[in-house]
Chain A
């Protein structure tokens, strides 16, 4: 029975069977002897469970199955040897014994403790009843072999396909990049029957932050939020992770590298075994994926390879999802900008035709949807087209962006000045793409420039006319003066009057002066010290600048005369200036009273000439100057015109 039975034959022979229910070998029943003979002769793993407590006898090929329990297992009860899996195989054996019927299992999962770690193993095996002389089942003949590697391989293949499917779905448009992480971690958690897995990114050295985490939903605690320094969980492991090495720990509680404190940290998180796969870019780890188990376990090389594969796929998909997400956001931002901005945006094809134009651009062009497809050149003012063509041709040569100020002509014929910046976008394979045109309406600026030009010209005009006016004042003051003293006094007074008229006009920025203010200002120097003797009243009349200057000088001449010879030359004379409007003309009367007796002047002086010429030639009216003995009266009748306006 034992001859040629290998190492196990020797062990069986040497075993003390008399202390077992089987009794010494020579007393074994024939059926047992025959079965043991077949067992030992077989090259296939074979074991025999015999007797009421199913004592174990096995061959050399079967010996590795119980791992470190061999050779202790020989002759011991099945329930004792297989305490870890007896809940499964004990029942199966019992059924075979009871029913006296063979049993076979394929890829049966048995959670088995081997080399100190519990692992999920898979087996093909059969239980065949061995009948005794009495026809009852005296033992069970077991043949079997481990299929764990093949099962894990198949599972890994299926798992990778599943992960690929999930990643494809997670990277569809509109999904958030975190979906990639979360779906992968959930798949990994299931595959490894893990307590927790997560994705962390390094922020600074060995300090990282958890970006996504999956947990088994049976009270597994979460990794505390915030940043963690990996060095707090084992310095050597931290260094290896940062260096991009895969970390495999079957039993952290028994890890001699860890301090008590570090072990305690793992215990608090419920981590008994872990697997860490770093993600590197350009030789530097920037992130890692961890898988935590809450009981010690053996991480098989097949599983580690699968994890690395999945992490690779995940990080690739994540990066792509982030890029897509960034692009979508950028597109959204651009679309918002394009539609909301007050600045005109347009895209032109290489022939200069409008591909797209935003609302502001359409408003600027005064056009709607029909603008699409139109060559932009057609919308330009004919005088600006040559410049546009020249700059576009220049751009075709050097690709440099350019700015252009030009006019667009709207469908209603109106022109709008606009400044555009034109940039050529780069198309596929660096070929020239379309033109991007940013445009602002500068009509207001143009109009302001035009007005400023007009204003400067107008000012220059007035300054020159003023110099001629001064020339005239000098000449006439000189002719009428007897002494240089008289000349100086008269000229000074006239220049002062002219300056006052300009002050008044300046206040209204040279648009128009009020007659009332003009009269008050002109008479002001003569009213000082003559309280109540100089009065003026009349409705609001606006004077154009030249009319204001002339009337101001005319009143000045009347006032000077009154101060020299008339009502203002004594202590009680009065001057009254009043005006009314009727029949599209104003009647303005200067009247003096209470002065010395008036004698008509000997000659027509500058003042009289100015009054008459101003009233008739310049203002198109008439004037009557009378030198009655009771006082000078000067009555103007001036038609309303562009120069003299009643609002």
Chain B
């Protein structure tokens, strides 16, 4: 699977719904990435970030009542790029991260791969 664009990338997955996070995890694994998490809350994500080097992140905006913005801020601080995954009606709230890409649910494995490909370092 060396031809996969995400090979060797360590991706933090933040998604609170178990079944959805399982799907994303599997999709990423299929693309050759290493999954960090998945985290279901801001607290879990912050914990996962401690002492771990990551290359990028996929953040669900709405985590069952809380927003994933603290994670986005922490990532920005570390210079880690990330992609938001959104359901609907969140376009307005992520305006504050104009450089972040967004991936709207539902998405196909290829969409996910494309969205995360830009996180890969130049090679």
Contact = CB atoms under 8 A, between A and B. Distances in A.
Interface stretch (B2-10, B37-45, B73-81, B94-102): B37-45
A603 to B, nearest CB: 15
B91 to A, nearest CB: 10
A618 B89 contact: no
Nearest to B85: A468
B22 to A, nearest CB: 6
B121 interface: no
A544 interface: yes
Interface string A599-620: 0000000100110011011111
Contacts of A142: none
Given A546-B64, A643-B64, A614 B18 contact: yes
A618 B65 contact: no
Interface stretch (A19-27, A228-236, A459-467): A459-467
Contact of B89 (A457, A471, A472): A457
A476 interface: yes
Contact of A468 (B26, B62, B106): B106
A550 interface: yes
B110 interface: no
B17 A469 contact: yes
Interface in A436-476: 454, 457-458, 460-462, 464-465, 467-469, 471-473, 475-476
Given A476-B22, A617-B21, A464 B16 contact: no
A511 interface: no
B46 interface: no
B65 A550 contact: no
Nearest to B39: A617
A489 interface: no
B88 A464 contact: yes
A553 B62 CA distance: 21
Contact of B17 (A465, A475, A476, A616): A465
Interface string B4-37: 0000000000001111111100100000000001
Given A461-B62, A642-B64, A643-B64, A473 B19 contact: yes
Interface string B84-115: 00011110000000000000111100000000
A614 B22 CA distance: 10
A460 B89 contact: yes
Contacts of A618: 16-18, 21, 40, 64
Contacts of B106: 464, 467-468, 471
B68 to A, nearest CB: 14
A472 B17 CA distance: 11
Contacts of A547: 64
Contacts, number: 91
Given A464-B104, A467-B105, A475-B26, A457 B20 contact: no
Nearest to B62: A461
Given A467-B106, A546-B64, A617-B39, A461 B88 contact: yes
A458 B88 CA distance: 7
Contacts of A550: 17-19
B19 A610 contact: yes
A5 B121 CA distance: 156
Contacts of B104: 464
B22 A609 contact: yes
Interface in A598-646: 606, 609-610, 613-614, 616-620, 642-643
Contacts of B87: 460-462, 464-465
A553 B18 CA distance: 10
Interface in A401-457: 454, 457
A467 to B, nearest CB: 4
A20 B17 CA distance: 147
Interface string A526-567: 000000000000000000101101100100000000000000
Contact of B20 (A469, A606, A619): A469
Given A464-B106, A617-B40, A475 B23 contact: yes
Nearest to A613: B18
Contact of B19 (A454, A458, A461, A472): A472
Contacts of B65: 544, 642-643
Contacts of A465: 17, 20, 87, 105
A465 B90 CA distance: 13
A386 to B, nearest CB: 24
A461 B89 contact: yes
A467 B64 CA distance: 17
Contacts of A643: 64-65
A619 B16 CA distance: 8
A464 B61 CA distance: 14
Contacts of B64: 544, 546-547, 618, 642-643
A547 B23 CA distance: 17
A471 B107 CA distance: 9
A609 B64 CA distance: 20
Contacts of B44: 617, 620
B18 A457 contact: no
A546 B17 contact: yes
Given A461-B62, A462-B87, A643-B64, A546 B105 contact: no
B95 to A, nearest CB: 16
Most chain A beta-carbon contacts within 10 A, residue among B17, B62, B65: B17
Most chain B beta-carbon contacts within 10 A, residue among A549, A614, A618, A619: A618
Contacts of B88: 457, 460-461, 464
Nearest to B65: A642
Nearest to A494: B19
Contacts of B20: 465, 468-469, 472
Given A461-B89, A467-B106, A469-B17, 10 more contacts: A454-B89, A458-B89, A460-B88, A468-B17, A469-B19, A549-B19, A610-B22, A617-B21, A620-B41, A642-B64
10 contacts: A461-B90, A465-B17, A467-B106, A468-B106, A471-B23, A471-B106, A550-B19, A613-B18, A617-B21, A620-B41
Interface of B: 16-23, 26, 37-41, 44, 62, 64-65, 87-90, 104-107
Rank and list the top 4 A-B pairs by shortest CB-CB distance, nearest first.
Answer: A457-B89, A461-B87, A472-B23, A460-B88
